[in-house]
Amino acid sequence: AQSVTQLDSQVPVFEEAPVELRCNYSSSVSVYLFWYVQYPNQGLQLLLKYLSGSTLVKGINGFEAEFNKSQTSFHLRKPSVHISDTAEYFCAVSRSGDDKIIFGKGTRLHILP
Amino acid sequence: EPEVTQTPSHQVTQMGQEVILRCVPISNHLYFYWYRQILGQKVEFLVSFYNNEISEKSEIFDDQFSVERPDGSNFTLKIRSTKLEDSAMYFCASRKVGGELFFGEGSRLTVL
């Protein structure tokens, strides 16, 4: 079975500073990896996904993530955050394109002025 | 841009009452899902539905839960006799074959 671990429940960062949100996964088979964002009082929106190919994946709003198979990680990064990035970020994994998605516990990104 | 729509956005009910949460998936999608998120906790998989039947369900999805696609557009989640611990945000999602998952805005259920 697949699982996802998000090591940080909250990450405070100053505006315009870089940020990295950590995600590790476990699976005995090849996986697809995702990052979703949940803005306050809203649903889940896909930021980016890794299915195959280049290990560096670029998403919306200036975010990117790098798939590292040897470290079973898929950390999310942004070089300069904005106050509008305040949200909950969920790392997720699925076994194949048509399998259910399993979510991590989420990391709350708190932007400090 | 097509989107998944959910109704109601918020429902308050008494313990023991039946609740139906409704979802209209994106029209050309074939896979449908329900997830829930208890306040402050992670998003949990409940059930997936394909070709008019449940394809997978989690341990949470016990006999009190059921799903239905009564017509060509709606996908409903029914909770037969609600418990306090059913209070959560319920998200519907849909996807095409091999496509990404699109989520609705969620239905907040409060059981008193």
Of residues B40 and A112, more confidently modeled: A112
Instruction: Tell me what the pLDDT averaged over chain B comes to.
Output: 93
The CATH number, out of the four listed (2.60.40.10, 1.10.3080.10, 3.30.70.60, 3.40.470.10), of the domain defined by the range A3-112: 2.60.40.10
Checking if the pLDDT of B48 tops 90, the result is yes
| Count: domains in chain B | 1
A104 vs B contacts (CB less than 8 Å): 42
Contact yes or no for B42 and A104 at CB 8 A: yes
Q: For position A98, what pLDDT does the model report?
A: 65
pLDDT, tens digit (0-9, with 9 covering 90-100), for A71-95: 999 999 999 999 999 999 999 998 8
A97 vs B contacts (CB less than 8 Å): 97-99
Checking if the pLDDT of B17 tops 80, the result is yes
Checking if the pLDDT of A2 tops 70, the result is yes
Determine how β-strand B88-95 pairs with β-strand B102-103: antiparallel
pLDDT band of residue A97 (cuts 50, 70, 90) is low
Contact yes or no for A106 and B103 at CB 8 A: no
Contact yes or no for B43 and A100 at CB 8 A: no
Of B107, B103, B93, B88, the C-alpha closest to B41 is B88
Residues spanned by the domain of B14: 5-111
Q: What is the mean pLDDT of residues A30-53?
A: 89
CA pair distance B11, B24, nearest whole angstrom = 17
B43 vs A contacts (CB less than 8 Å): 44, 90, 103, 106
Query: What is the distance of C-alpha B48 from the center of its chain?
Result: 9
Which residues, 6+ apart, have CB-to-CB distance to A29 below 8 Å? Answer: A95
Q: For position A68, what pLDDT does the model report?
A: 93
Q: For position B61, what pLDDT does the model report?
A: 96
Q: What is the mean pLDDT of residues A5-29?
A: 93
Within the 6-25 window of chain B, which residues sit less than 8 Å (CB to CB) from chain A? none
Q: For position B70, what pLDDT does the model report?
A: 85
CA pair distance B101, A13, nearest whole angstrom = 29
For Cα atoms A65, A57, B40, give the angle at the middle one, nearest 5 degrees.
40
pLDDT, tens digit (0-9, with 9 covering 90-100), for B55-89: 999 999 999 999 999 887 899 999 999 999 999 99
Any idea what the CATH number is for the domain that residue B24 is in? 2.60.40.10
Contact yes or no for A100 and B33 at CB 8 A: yes
CA pair distance B56, B45, nearest whole angstrom = 10
Of B3, B2, B101, B57, the C-alpha closest to A51 is B101
Measured over the CA atoms of residue A38, residue A43, residue A47 and residue A52, the dihedral's sign is: positive
Domain range summary for chain A, segments of one domain joined by +: 3-112
Residue B70, both tokens: 């009564």
pLDDT, tens digit (0-9, with 9 covering 90-100), for A47-70: 999 988 889 999 999 999 999 999
